[in-house]
Amino acid sequence: MRLICIPRWASARRCRALALLGGMAAVAGGRAGLAAQGASEPGDTLRQPPIVQNISRRPGIVEVEVTAAPASIPLLPGAAPAAVYAYNGTIPGPTIEVHEGDSVVIHFHNHLPEPTTVHWHGVHLPVDADGSPLYPIAPGGAHDYAFRVAQGSAGTYWYHPHPDARTTRQVALGLYGAIIVRPARDPLAGIPEKLLILSDNRLAPDGSVSFPDPASVQASVDMENGREGDRLFVNGQIMPRIVVPSGEVQRWRIVNASPARVYRLALTDQQLLHVGDDGGLFERPVEAADLVLANSERVEVLVRGQAPGSRSTLQDLPYDRYAPQTRPADWNSTHPLLALEYGAAGPLKAAPIPATLRVIPPVDTSHVFARRVIVLSQGLIDGKTMDMHRSDIRSRVGATEIWTIQNVVGMDHPFHLHGNHFQVLDRDGVAVPFRSWKDSVNVPRHSSLRLAVRFEDYPGKWMYHCHILDHEDEGMMAILELH
């Protein structure tokens, strides 16, 4: 087992789909994934989502079956089964593991009583595989999502529905899961991994998913704030436990799959070593007392087992993202998410990690095709609501652009761009301290940021929107058309 040490831590459809790939096969590196990163310690109650089975035997081809269907699953310990939606019968859905360069075919089946899509959030792929509301799949329908995983895109992503005006409901009912893209050579290979998918929900006394009457005050509050629930889940569990051997370092991949909640994550006994976010690893690790994780964002952190027999808690600290008139009464409360127990055996011997995890070249802004200002207000982008027949921005493949995202209202808006990674340059005129690849970024109230993006390939119509799902459903979304 390889450990790390840092300063301060020193102690038929199938044939048709394969034809779409045009024989694109790349020999992938070793297939060690979450399931092969080491068995859970005794007493560890955090369940890892199942890894979907690859039915292809061809090197460099990942071919899987994913079905969205109604299910009956208890959401609380001891509660009666609730009527939910689930991918392949589980909440969260199964984890999809791929490698850079893999050619991927996902045979999707919609067994829901309503249209849906599957959006592969953050994955760089052709527009017809993006799963945007422009490509709905009817009840009883099926679709093959086919794409090649881009080189240099190793990281933690996720998938969820993205139908027109129904995304909040379908996610709240249970449709979300993780995607992990692995590189041929991982600088943190050998470190035990955990996947943590954060979600929240609002449940009725019988344990069923509760939705407000559309004419109620709660529905109006949800329209403003986005849907938040008082039940906080990690991998579909309430307050699970992880047992970490003393001295061992674990790599946690954390996904915020909540429809609107922003988490401010901290451990009670140590700083987090922040090593990556949406688009994969940073150039160098960064120590952080806490991390703000807006809905749809992902982070990777390293956590070390402390003194034998001691305990800790992963907490959601207070974070005020709200408009004052609809701020919930408990917004300034701290919520426990996960319990940690450190193994009673003596500390394991640690080894150093690389000082440099990878190189992230800056987006070349010496030739900028366009500089744009995108204004986020309450429910609107640039003063308009979504029209699927209108292109709000037109650009071209190969163009580099700089976008200023302005939030002119009194609550935070997380901004998401489909299909393309970007680099944040500065916030309110202050340069960001280090580079990273992003596809979602929080824009706090009355603030602005600048991002640089290059549209490498894949023409077509791409969504950009607020990722508070109620806002998205109400039309806080627009279209970028690339030629």
pLDDT of residue 5 exceeding 60, the answer is: no
Cis peptide before 92 (omega within 30 of 0): yes
What domains lie within the chain, and their CATH numbers?
13-182 (2.60.40.420), 193-342 (2.60.40.420), 370-482 (2.60.40.420)
Arithmetic mean of pLDDT, 2-14: 42
pLDDT of 13 reads 54
Among 5-9, 309-313, 318-322, 459-463, which stretch is predicted with the lowest mean pLDDT?
A: 5-9
242-280 pLDDT, tens per residue?
999 998 999 999 999 999 999 999 999 999 999 999 999
Which pLDDT band, with edges at 50, 70 and 90, does 41 fall under? confident
pLDDT of 346 reads 72
233 within 8 A of 84, measured Cβ to Cβ: no
- Beta strands 96-99 and 177-182 are parallel
Among 7-11, 98-102, 185-189, which stretch is predicted with the lowest mean pLDDT?
A: 7-11
Nearest in space to 472 (alpha carbons), one of 404, 388, 403, 409: 388
pLDDT of residue 388 exceeding 60, the answer is: yes
292 within 8 A of 310, measured Cβ to Cβ: no
Please name the residues in contact with 232: beta carbons below 8 A apart, sequence gap of 6 or more.
198, 199, 200, 238, 316, 335, 337
